[in-house]
Amino acid sequence: MTFNRRTFLGTASAIAAGLSAPMVLAQGKPRVVVVGGGAGGATAARYIAKDSKGEIDVTLIEPSRTYYTCFFSNLYLGGFQELSDIAHSYGTLAADYGINVVHDWAVGVDRDTKLVSLAGGGSIPYDKLILSPGIDFVEGAVEGWDISAQNKMPHAYKAGSQTELLKAQVMAMPEGGTFAMVAPPNPYRCPPGPYERVSMVAHVLKAYNPTAKIIVADPKPKFSKMSLFQEGWANHYEGMVDWIGEEFGGGNVSVNPDAMTVTIDGEETKVDVCNVIPAMKAGRIAEMAGVTEGNWAPVNAADMSSKADPDIHVLGDASQQGDMPKSGFSANSQAKVCANAVRGALTGSKIFPAKFSNTCWSLIDTDDGVKVGATYEATPEKIAKVDGFISQTGEDADLRKATYEESLGWYAGITSDMFG
Amino acid sequence: MIWRSASGVGLAASILAAAAYATEDLGDAEAGEVVFSKCKGCHQVGAGAENTIGPHLNGVFGRKAAGLADFNYSKSLKRAGNSGLEWHADTLSAYLENPRAFASGTRMSFSGLKDPEDRTNVVAYLREFSDNPRDIPEADPTAKGTDHSVDPEILAIQGDPEYGEYLSSECTTCHQIEGRDDGIPSIVYWPDEVFVVAMHAYKNNQRLHPVMQMIAGRLSNDEIAALAAYFNNPE
């Protein structure tokens, strides 16, 4: 054997790796592949890259070059934000954090060879895979609606062109027209989201089309922040919003996108805009990776690892973790726990105990913000709620305004935490 | 209606007691005026006060550090202000104790007031020229001094910045690590003690914000110290 410089270096690094890094392979750096660049994926990629200081090779697979956050997209509908305010690029993650950002669809995961295949061809190897694909819709969830009808009856539950379309349709409603929403069953992304949306649409209609009506067909008997929203609707938009819950047949719904009709408990109504938010499931790549049970991907609370595969972690909306709501804040919180665990497994860095928290702000009308939040801990069974709070009905206007202003601060905070 | 007047007396007595306690606790403004003679060469305060060598000190309570638009401050104080430093009794006292230790690049050419009583008194004097001594004395621990209600043993804990860095990720969902304030305050570069006192005030529900009460409520003393150590110098 020729003892040259190269083999010497190789041996030395292999020894060093063996001492400090339990899972490092002798050749090259450990590799983390993250699928999905939202609140879970972007945060996980950024924290792993930042904290490993180059020791881990991080690839982020995200089809969109410009990411529109779902949180605050309702504020765009209400005219409180421009679309450009909720648009983010991945440039900083690539330039400042050295993350390999791949704009493509992940279309398969081979868990034996540990490869993620891409729609554009080729595949990317991983030591640890983090899936944060958000949601897809359950087929056939709303009779008469499928994804091919999304232009006539938008879901607008993945932000971007769908949100713009819905806003254009609201602005084009005839005087005194009807906006219908088909609300989703639990569990779904952003529990207060549909009701904040109702508030924002009402805010716009009150200004431009005050005789218009809003009908909500809801399969649930109650919903997130219900008393706060109902108080707000009565105070700001009296007589405009008709919420039809489970008790009055809100779950017995079909739509006809060609005729623009909605049938609720046997009664057909002609509508001008119909926002169909179907039942949800984990983004499809989770199912393709074989880590789902039913609609969601069960995970271990301590590190967000999949119950089906210890080398795959699932974050955010797609995961079935326990008590946390499916929110951007939750995904961001879970991503940090996951990043710490993944880095520890790959480089031997210290793994600190899991800690989770969530707060969701909603806007009801100008300067009328409310919030709900909780802290969580990892138990052997699930992520379990520890403590929580919610805004109260009848709060004074200054507090509501402060809550709204706080939500703007949070948006700036979480987006810089995600995208650098 | 005897019960009502009786309870009225009780209430008045308790207000008097609270006022007496507060006055004592907040220092002696008259003695502070004497101490202020050391400051007068550079700082004016009171009716018609203007910026001279140093900025005027009217309304200094609650003002952001380097907060007067028409005074040319050192970069060091500007940075502290942009990072969220506000002047309250505790921050003023810390600054006056050793100006260069508190803001290393300050242009204030003053060696400091070493006697804590002098500092408390001069701060009490300055308070008379602030129309917004908000939350004084009960609600805002940063308005009153650094030591109240927090056990000195807790204040003495040396935090582990590495652990603090991990824990900080829970904070940075809302508080920006670069120190920008877009609706949620900056928490970077705070003196450790100020940070620790504030967090314990949330933990004990003396400060009122529900999110912060919830977050601080489950942090241990060591965790709060670790966060203070990390955020004091996050680079």
Instruction: Return the number of CB contacts < 8 Å for A and B.
Output: 76
Contacts of A64 (CB under 8 A, 6+ apart): A37, A103, A160
| Fold held by A147-278 | FAD/NAD(P)-binding domain (3.50.50)
The CB-based long-range contact list for B216-224 (8 Å cut-off, 24+ gap) reads B217/A375, B217/A387, B218/A355, B218/A375, B218/A386, B218/A387, B219/B167, B221/B154, B221/B157, B222/B157, B222/B159, B222/B160, B222/B163, B223/B163, B223/B167, B224/B159, B224/B195, B224/B196, B224/B199, B224/B200
Angle between helices A397-419 and A328-347 (to 10 degrees): 30
> What six digits make up the tokens of A23?
């899972």
**Which of A53, A334, A389, A403 has the most B C-beta neighbours within 10 Å, making it the best mutation to test the interface with B?**
A389
Amino acid at A101: V
Q: Where is average pLDDT lowest: A60-69, A78-87, B186-195?
A: B186-195
The pLDDT confidence band at residue A306, using thresholds 50, 70 and 90, is very high
Q: Is the predicted pLDDT of residue A225 greater than 90, yes or no?
A: yes
Q: Where is average pLDDT lowest: B26-35, B55-64, B78-87?
A: B78-87
Q: Can you list the domains of chain B with their CATH numbers? A: 28-136 (1.10.760.10), 152-232 (1.10.760.10)
- Starting at the edge strand that comes first in sequence, how are the strands of the sheet with A31-35 ordered? A100-102, A57-61, A31-35, A128-131, A312-314
A401, closest residue in chain B (CA to CA) = B183
Say what the ipTM of the complex is: 0.84
Q: Do B184 and A371 touch (CB under 8 A)?
A: no
A413, closest residue in chain B (CA to CA) = B174
Q: Do A408 and B182 touch (CB under 8 A)?
A: yes
pLDDT for res B131: 64
Around Cβ A265, how many Cβ atoms within 10 Å? 12
What is the enclosing helix (H) or strand (E) of A171?
helix A161-171
pLDDT for res A153: 98
Say whether residue B166 is in contact with chain A using an 8 A CB cutoff. yes
Q: Which residues of B touch A44 (CB under 8 A)?
A: none
Q: To the nearest whole percent, how much of chain A has pLDDT over 70?
A: 94
Q: Is the predicted pLDDT of residue A200 greater than 60, yes or no?
A: yes
Contacts of A133 (CB under 8 A, 6+ apart): A35, A36, A106, A282, A283, A284, A285, A286, A318
Q: Do B182 and A357 touch (CB under 8 A)?
A: no
Q: Are strands A87-89 and A66-68 parallel, antiparallel or unpaired?
A: antiparallel
Task: Report residue A310: phi and psi, to 5°.
Answer: -65, -15
Q: Where in chain A is the domain with CATH 3.50.50.60?
A: 29-137+281-353, 147-278
Q: Is the predicted pLDDT of residue A14 greater than 80, yes or no?
A: no
Around Cβ B134, how many Cβ atoms within 10 Å? 12
**Which of B208, B211, B230 has the most A C-beta neighbours within 10 Å, making it the best mutation to test the interface with A?**
B211
B215, closest residue in chain A (CA to CA) = A375
Contacts of A56 (CB under 8 A, 6+ apart): A29, A30, A31, A32, A48, A49, A343, A346, A347
Q: Which residues of A touch B202 (CB under 8 A)?
A: none
pLDDT tens for each residue of A324-341: 999 999 999 999 999 999
What is the enclosing helix (H) or strand (E) of A346?
helix A328-347
Burial class (CB in 10 A: 0-12, 13-18, 19+), A315: buried
Q: Is the predicted pLDDT of residue A73 greater than 90, yes or no?
A: yes
Residue with token string 């009502």: B4
| Fold held by A29-137+281-353 | FAD/NAD(P)-binding domain (3.50.50)
Decide: helix, strand or coil at residue A284.
helix
Decide: helix, strand or coil at residue A367.
coil
As a whole number of angstroms, the distance between CA B209 and CA A254 comes to 44
Q: Which residues of B touch A388 (CB under 8 A)?
A: 214
The pLDDT confidence band at residue A161, using thresholds 50, 70 and 90, is very high
**B184-223 burial string, b = 16+ CB within 10 Å, else e?**
bebbbbbbbbbbbbbbbbbbeebbeebbbbbbbeebebeb
* A193-197, B79-83, B96-100, B127-131: range with highest mean pLDDT: A193-197
First to last CA, chain A: 48
pLDDT tens for each residue of B100-158: 777 777 888 888 898 999 999 999 899 888 765 433 333 333 344 444 568 889 999 99
Chain A 19-48, residues with CB within 8 Å of chain B CB atoms: 47
Q: Do B214 and A408 touch (CB under 8 A)?
A: no
**Which of B160, B165, B166 has the most A C-beta neighbours within 10 Å, making it the best mutation to test the interface with A?**
B166
pLDDT tens for each residue of B144-154: 444 456 888 99
What is the enclosing helix (H) or strand (E) of A358?
strand A356-365
pTM of the model: 0.76
